[in-house]
Amino acid sequence: MRQIVLILDLDGVLITTPTWKKDVMHLDGYSDFNENCVANLNQLLANYPITIFLSSTRRTVKTLDEFNAIFQNRSIKQKIEGFLPLYENKTRKGELEQFVADKGLKDFIIIDDDKSTLGLPVEIKQKLVHTNLLDGFTEEKLEEAIQIIQNNEKH
């Protein structure tokens, strides 16, 4: 099985606190993650060879080492490989398009709640699991992700 790049957002994926409420903080002083969403992510990571790249705007305020410690503290069983580069004046949609093109990605999946991602070109959008801010990475979204990965394997 080929290595799959997971382009992962945090808010609306693993962090499901409504925007009008203050984040609940973990013991390490960073926002708590939804435990069900983490369990679903861990299930995906346990079953497929995945490399994680963080796309969240939160990537601008912590280092890779800090985020890996945050993931470890929340029992996410895999390290983050890197961040999407900060492309100047780009929406999330634009960042994703640029990253996929720059890396020449074929085997990838995107998990994100950003509405701009709905405008991605079809060849990228078909690899998008679009989550809801308040629900995050649910079991239903896990099934969508598995379906995308299995479709990747066929091509």
**Residue 13 to residue 54: CA distance in whole angstroms:** 12
Please tell me the predicted confidence (pLDDT) of residue 155. 62
Contact, 121 vs 97, CB < 8 A?
Answer: yes
**Residue 90 to residue 38: CA distance in whole angstroms:** 28
Fold of 4-154: Rossmann fold (3.40.50)
Please tell me the predicted confidence (pLDDT) of residue 102. 95
Mean pLDDT for the chain? Answer: 94
| All structural domains of the chain with their residue ranges | 4-154
Could you report the per-residue pLDDT of 44-103, keeping only the tens digit for each? Answer: 999 999 999 999 999 999 999 999 999 999 999 899 999 999 888 889 999 999 999 999
| Poorest-pLDDT segment among 7-16, 23-32, 111-120 | 23-32
Could you report the per-residue pLDDT of 112-123, keeping only the tens digit for each? Answer: 999 999 999 999
Closest by alpha carbon to 80, among 55, 47, 44, 100?
A: 55
3-class DSSP state of 39: helix
Contact, 15 vs 38, CB < 8 A?
Answer: no
Contact, 131 vs 15, CB < 8 A?
Answer: no
Contact, 148 vs 129, CB < 8 A?
Answer: yes
**Residue 136 to residue 138: CA distance in whole angstroms:** 6
- C-alpha distances in Å from residue 150, one per residue of 12, 27, 53, 102, 144: 24, 37, 20, 24, 10
